Structure formats: C-alpha cells, structure tokens
Amino acid sequence: MKKTILFLLLAGTLALALPAIKLDVGLLYSARTVSDDAIQDVYGNGGVFFPYAAVNLWKGLGFGLGYEGGYDRDGKIGLYQEDTSLKVGGIELFALYRRDFGKLSPYAKLGIGSYSYEQVVSGQSKVDDSKVAPSLAAGLRYYAGKGLFLAAEIKYVPLKVNPLGEEVDLSGLRFGAGVGYSFEL
C-alpha cells in the first residue's frame, strides 16, 4: 500500500511539472497459461483481467500501475479427490516504451508485481502468501479514433512460490486483448 501511495504521489508531482502528459487507462482480458503440469492438471488455465493506468512522460516512455485479478480456479486434489481452489492476483508497477506508426503502436513493458496466492483444500486454507516477481510484455495498439484504442498483448510472469517448503511454479503466459483510452492532462 505504501508503494502505491508513493507511486501516485510521484506521478502527481510529475503531472504538475511537465506540460503535456498523456494518461492511458485501459482494461485487458487475458487467457492465462500455467507452466507447471501438475498445477495445470488440477486447476487448468484460466482468464485474468488487468485494469491499468499509465502516464506517458517523454517520447513513448511511460510508467503505469495495474491490477491482475480473476484467476480463481477449482479442482480435485489428492488420493481422495478433495475439493480445492486456487486464487492468484497482484498489483504491478511497470515501465513501457511505445512507438507510434500512424494508427498502429507497438510497445514493450517491463514490470514488477506483488502477487498473492491462496490455495484452499476441503474448506481449510492451506497456503495464503505473496511473492514479488518480474513481468515482461509486448503488444500492439490500434487507435480507433479520438483517443480510443484496441490492444493485444503477450505477457510472461515467472512466479515460483514455496508453500510448505516445496517449490511450485505458477509461471505462465498471458495472451490478452482489451480496450483503452488515451488523453492529455
């Protein structure tokens, strides 16, 4: 929470100091893949949503804040096929570089996120923790007019956690599409 407040204060200060700052707000919905075969067998892949805001400061360079949520999957686990659920979500700070070519704009993002995960087996919480992990993304925007844009993105988050002393790989790709709006402050 302190990092979020610090980021918003920094963004606000920069907004007052620079004359022409563009703000992007958007929402991506992504199909999320899971790298670990055992996790994928129990919970499968799923979808995540990513609302975000980004401040574009100088010649395509910008910084943003987003929230990844929505991965909430159920399954059966163990010898007795007990009910289980897994939730993963997190807040991400990112830097992006975008290049405009008419209506098309490819971009790359590098971020750091604090992801929380919770696994529940038979109604009892087994694991409830958080982990910091980097992220890397590349995408393409299409400007539909008057600040409105459509976006497609591929993102990778290498998220490995150690619940109960055993490493579990929650890493995976996100193949996303979404919509956003860009305007000057």
pLDDT beyond 80 at 11:
no
Average confidence (pLDDT) over 99-118: 90
What confidence category does residue 8 fall into, taking pLDDT thresholds of 50, 70 and 90? low
Residue in this structure with the two tokens 């703000």, named with its chain if needed: 23
pLDDT average, residue stretch 103-108? 93
Say if residues 90 and 115 touch (Cβ distance below 8 Å): yes
pTM above 0.85, yes or no: no
| Distance of alpha carbon 54 from alpha carbon 133, whole angstroms | 20
Question: Is 21 or 6 the better-scoring residue by pLDDT?
Answer: 21
Q: Is the pLDDT of residue 2 over 70?
A: no
Per-residue pLDDT of 51-82, as tens digits, reads 999 998 888 899 999 998 888 777 777 777 77
pLDDT at 185: 72
Whole-number pLDDT of residue 165:
62
Helical spans, DSSP H, in the chain: 2-17, 37-43
Angle at 153 between CA 12 and CA 133, to 5 degrees: 65
Those residues with Cβ within 8 angstroms of residue 124's Cβ, 6 or more apart along the chain or in another chain: none
* pLDDT given at position 44: 73
Inform me whether the pLDDT recorded for 164 exceeds 60: no
Q: Which domains does the chain have, with CATH numbers?
A: 2-71+93-110+132-184 (2.40.160.20)
Average pLDDT score over the chain? 82
